[in-house]
């Protein structure tokens, strides 16, 4: 991570001179803010703006009822009762993206019992028209991205029983009729898209449930992919997530292994993955998400464990050289988890759904920001932006601790300037 230390030449001479809080470990603090209820367990959760309101909606796919449950937002930042929309039989996974290019977010779900994708398009803040795309048998995962670089969002699904992936390219009318089938090992279960080799083209990483491996398919820019490169993980990989855990500029992988109860970290070496480390994750890890939970500048992990009443959180330390596991107790066994800043305070909150009933819990992240002397704009850097804040407010009397009052004495002046200069160039919170 580079340091932004540039400074105008004119300043050179100046420089020469009521909730139940859960505190878990030294870093993570969450409060139990809200519990929601859907008609049946949610197999996948997503957060996105569907209804046109400023605050994002919570979406859950419900295999038991063949529906999407959409929770709106109320005036206090909480959620309203869900509205339900058809999602096809046994929806198993979901993506949310603008699939028809109209600026609204649409949704696409795999239907595991019907060997298809159901696409629902948003109209006037609700899911309206739909489209069916036939794919392989028992699809378990879906991802989206522009695979042929034409500016439209395409789809890819993992077909568990067919041992294939189906790549479905979009077109100007969002018909999704251009399909290609790719061999995908033995039991492709979970997949994602990212640029792993740094060539500006999306690649696909897919877990192999029966051979305990991850296949990496490198994209070539026209919607096709090179033969996969295999990397061994642990027993029965069921979920996968990407994040730059070692802060070297390219995405690494974290793989949740259901039968072994572990998470395997794979380090990205120029587009080739290699085993990095492996840790216990808990009973039957079923879903995995990556986000900077403690605002220290590096990605952390949250893993839903369908066999235990807890979430496993992993705090990234020393640029991924260690991942400190912390258990967040729940009153039920979580199936799916999503991380999103729901209240606009700059840190990711946690939403988790039950594996056995329709309960969904919302946990607000109240983890304190890292101590960062000199960082007036709270971006984890001490640089020219912080200096400008102090100088532009020079001499003002403010409430102690206000923006620019680094000394918390109520006046922006020389003490605050000295704090910025003495910490100049720092990258705060880096572990």
pLDDT tops 90 at residue 3: no
* Cβ neighbour number for residue 159 with a 10 Å cutoff: 23
Is the separation of the CB atoms in 159 and 166 below 8 Å?
Answer: yes
User: Domains along the chain?
Assistant: 21-365 (2.130.10.10), 376-422 (1.10.1330)
pLDDT tops 50 at residue 158: yes
Question: How much is the pLDDT for 417?
Answer: 92
Nearest to 314 by CA among 262, 381, 372: 262
User: Whose structure tokens read 């994209």?
Assistant: 219
Give per-residue pLDDT as tens, 241-267.
999 999 999 999 999 999 999 999 999
**224 SS3 class:** coil
For residues 90-119, give the mean pLDDT: 97
Lowest mean pLDDT among 4-13, 31-40, 143-152, 342-351: 4-13
**413 SS3 class:** coil
Give me 93's structure tokens.
């996974």
Torsion angle, alpha carbons of 371, 375, 377, 378, to 10: -20
Give me 203's structure tokens.
């690649």
Question: How much is the pLDDT for 430?
Answer: 53
Q: Which of 6-10, 117-121, 405-409 has the largest mean confidence?
A: 117-121
Q: How does residue 429 score in pLDDT terms, banded at 50, 70 and 90?
A: low
**422 SS3 class:** helix
Can you give the pTM of this predicted structure?
0.84
Question: How much is the pLDDT for 296?
Answer: 84
Task: Answer left, alpha or beta for residue 300, where phi above 0 means left and psi between -120 and 50 means alpha.
Answer: beta
Nearest to 354 by CA among 373, 378, 330, 370: 330
Give per-residue pLDDT as tens, 40-96.
999 999 999 998 888 999 999 999 999 999 999 987 888 999 999 999 999 999 999
- 119 CB-near residues (< 8 Å, 6+ apart): 99, 106, 107, 108, 130, 131, 132, 133, 174, 176
pLDDT tops 70 at residue 231: yes
Q: Packing angle between helix 384-392 and helix 414-422, nearest 10 degrees? A: 180
Q: How does residue 23 score in pLDDT terms, banded at 50, 70 and 90?
A: very low
Using CA atoms, how far residue 137 sits from 134, 159, 189, in Å, is 9, 5, 12
9 φ, ψ to 5°?
A: -65, -30
Is the separation of the CB atoms in 19 and 31 below 8 Å?
Answer: yes
Give per-residue pLDDT as tens, 362-390.
999 998 877 778 888 777 778 899 899 99
Using CA atoms, how far residue 37 sits from 82, 140, 303, 358, in Å, is 8, 24, 21, 5
Task: Answer left, alpha or beta for residue 169, where phi above 0 means left and psi between -120 and 50 means alpha.
Answer: beta
* Cβ neighbour number for residue 397 with a 10 Å cutoff: 11
Q: Is the dihedral of CA 310, 69, 59, 67 positive or negative?
A: positive
SS (H, E, C) 309-374: CEEEEEEEECCCCEEEEEEEECCCCEEEEEEECCCCCCCCEEEEEECCCCEEEEEEECCCCCCCCC
Q: How does residue 319 score in pLDDT terms, banded at 50, 70 and 90?
A: confident
Question: How much is the pLDDT for 406?
Answer: 87
Q: 77 or 217, which is more confident?
A: 217
% of the chain surpassing 90 pLDDT: 74
Is the separation of the CB atoms in 352 and 333 below 8 Å?
Answer: no
* Cβ neighbour number for residue 86 with a 10 Å cutoff: 15
Is the separation of the CB atoms in 107 and 96 below 8 Å?
Answer: yes
Q: How does residue 190 score in pLDDT terms, banded at 50, 70 and 90?
A: very high
Is the separation of the CB atoms in 27 and 315 below 8 Å?
Answer: yes
**How many degrees, rounded to 5, is the angle at CA 120 between CA 118 and CA 123?**
170
Give per-residue pLDDT as tens, 332-355.
999 999 999 998 888 899 999 999
Question: How much is the pLDDT for 372?
Answer: 78
Q: Is the dihedral of CA 394, 396, 401, 407 positive or negative?
A: positive
């Amino acid at each position: 991570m580079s340091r932004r230390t540039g400074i105008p030449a004119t300043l050179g001479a100046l420089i020469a001179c009521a909730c139940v809080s859960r505190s878990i470990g030294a870093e993570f603090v969450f409060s139990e803010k809200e519990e929601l209820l859907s008609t049946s367990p949610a197999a996948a959760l997503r957060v996105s703006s569907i209804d046109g309101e400023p605050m994002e909606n919570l979406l859950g796919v419900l295999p038991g009822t063949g529906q999407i449950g959409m929770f709106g937002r109320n005036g206090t930042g909480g959620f309203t009762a869900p509205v339900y929309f058809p999602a096809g039989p046994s929806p198993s996974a979901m993506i949310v993206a603008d699939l028809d290019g109209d600026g609204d977010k649409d949704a696409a779900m795999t239907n595991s019992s019907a060997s298809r994708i159901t696409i629902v398009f948003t109209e006037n803040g609700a899911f309206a028209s739909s489209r069916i795309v036939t794919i392989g048998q028992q699809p378990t995962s879906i991802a989206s991205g522009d695979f042929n670089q034409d500016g439209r969002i395409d789809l890819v699904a993992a077909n568990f029983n067919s041992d294939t992936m189906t790549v479905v390219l979009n077109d100007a009318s969002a018909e999704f009729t251009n399909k290609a089938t790719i061999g995908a090992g033995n039991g492709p279960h979970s997949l994602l898209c990212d640029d792993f080799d740094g060539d500006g083209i999306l690649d696909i990483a897919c877990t192999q449930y029966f051979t305990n491996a991850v296949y990496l398919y490198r994209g070539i820019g026209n919607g096709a992919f090179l033969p996969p490169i295999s990397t061994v993980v642990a027993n029965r990989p069921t979920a996968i997530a990407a994040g730059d855990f070692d802060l070297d500029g390219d995405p690494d992988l974290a793989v949740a292994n259901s039968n072994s109860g572990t998470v395997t970290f794979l380090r990205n070496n120029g587009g080739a993955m290699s085993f990095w480390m492996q840790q216990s994750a808990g009973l039957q890890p079923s879903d995995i998400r990556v986000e900077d939970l403690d605002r220290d500048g590096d990605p952390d992990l949250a893993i839903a464990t369908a066999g235990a009443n807890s979430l496993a959180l992993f705090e990234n330390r020393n640029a991924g050289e260690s991942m400190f596991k912390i258990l967040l107790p729940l009153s039920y066994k979580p199936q799916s988890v999503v991380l999103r800043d729901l209240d606009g305070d700059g840190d990711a909150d946690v939403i988790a759904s039950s594996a056995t009933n329709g309960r969904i819990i919302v946990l607000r992240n109240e983890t304190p920001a890292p101590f960062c002397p000199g960082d007036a704009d709270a971006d984890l850097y001490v640089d020219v932006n912080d200096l400008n804040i102090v100088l532009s407010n020079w001499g003002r009397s403010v409430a102690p601790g206000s923006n620019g009052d680094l000394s918390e004495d109520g006046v922006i002046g020389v003490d605050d300037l000295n704090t910025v200069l003495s910490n100049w160039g720092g990258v705060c919170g880096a572990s």
